[in-house]
Amino acid sequence: MNTSKISKKNWFWILQLLGWGIPGCLIMYTKFNYEKTLSQTYIVSEAILFTGAGILFSSLLWLLIRNKILIEIISVRVIVRILLIYMLICLSMTIFVEALVYLLYVNIENKELDRSLNDYILNFINISVILFFWLILYFSINSILRAQKGKVEGLQLKSTLRESQLNTLKGQINPHFMFNSLNNIRALMLEDVHKSREMITKLSELLRYSLNSNKVDKITLEEEIEIVNNYIELSKIQLEKRLRYHEEIEEGILDIEIPPMLIQMLVENAIKHGVSNQIGGGVVSLKIRTENNNLQIEVHNTGELKESGSTTRIGLQNISERLRLLYGATSFFELKEEGNEVVARIKIPLDE
């Protein structure tokens, strides 16, 4: 931070020196070539005086504008104040330069300086023009820097908002069946203690996975599928043979990364709003493959697509929003009914 501020100050003084040094050099060049009666000492002294005075009064103008006027709020009142300050600085610099030029001329040339009113007016106009262009340059550079700063802050805000949105969405995707699973496991303990302990382990792994999903944006397919299998096993405690599950996963793709709890949410939706509503139960099929440099994920379940159920809508909206935040328009998600099945499809670009 300090280095950046020092660098900006250095640039300000470098530009000041260049901005006023060039007119000073032009004065020196002109008088060397067209005013042969003047001594070299006086010409160099006058050029140095003009350069120094320019730096002094433009810096004063900068301080007055920066400290006394809120530049961000542009209004007629602000513009009038800037113009008044500008005119005051121009007049002050003209008087200052004329006074010192007179003293330099008398002491170096050893004679009175003969100046007319037109000379004073012309000098005032020259100083006003140079300071006007200085003012335009200052506001231009200031606007560019402020725009760049705003752009950076906007990107940082967008990134922070995106991260916050993702964490909020992931925080909403918690398994809805935890309470029922605990009750089912409690009943199972009377029949099969070993099976109950195994299910408690799976439930704890699923809960830990759900809590940790807020800390990362992506996990491997292998990790996600392991949690899906745990979820299926827990669901079978209640649904038993009514739930049948199949997987078709392309070989060699388990290390591909996807958003956490993405497939789990689709499978949960398929079971809760599909298979569990069927008297004879049904089948949930998970199909994952790569195609055209995209990861294709499909979850099929027997049943019908019903628009009722706010929890379903919220869950599916979360999936769609998470994909949009992570991949933008390059991702794809749909849920539709095909024949006697409901199919959820997700497409994720592999080059992201």
Q: How far apart are CA 326 and CA 320, in angstroms?
A: 10
Q: Phi and psi for 331 in degrees, rounded to 5?
A: -95, 170
Report which DSSP code applies to 112.
-
Give me the pLDDT at residue 247, please. Answer: 94
Q: Which of the residues in the chain have pLDDT under 50?
A: 1-5, 70, 164, 171-175, 310
Instruction: Map residue 289 onto helix, strand or coil.
Output: strand
The predicted pLDDT at position 250 comes to 94
- Write the CATH number of the domain with boundaries 173-349: 3.30.565.10
Euclidean distance between CA atoms 94 and 71, whole angstroms: 26
For residue 294, the model assigns a pLDDT of: 93
Q: What is the pLDDT of residue 348?
A: 93
Q: Specify the DSSP element, H or E, that contains 214.
A: none
Distance between CA 234 and CA 240 in Å, rounded?
10
- Does residue 249 sit in helix, strand or coil? strand
Q: Which residues contact 223 (CB under 8 A, 6 or more apart)?
A: 209
Residue 106 CB neighbours (<10 A): 12
* pLDDT per position as a tens digit, 270-316: 888 888 888 888 999 999 999 989 999 999 998 888 765 545 555 67
Q: Residue type for 304, please?
A: E
pLDDT of the residue at 251: 93
Predicted local distance difference test score (pLDDT) of residue 221: 94
- The full set of domain ranges for the chain reads 2-165, 173-349
150-204 pLDDT, tens digit per residue, is 777 666 656 655 554 555 555 444 445 566 677 778 777 877 788 888 888 888 8
Tokens of 345: 């499809």
Q: Let me know: does 258 contact 221? Beta carbons within 8 Å.
A: yes
pLDDT of residue 1: 43
Number of Cβ within a 10 Å radius of residue 67: 7
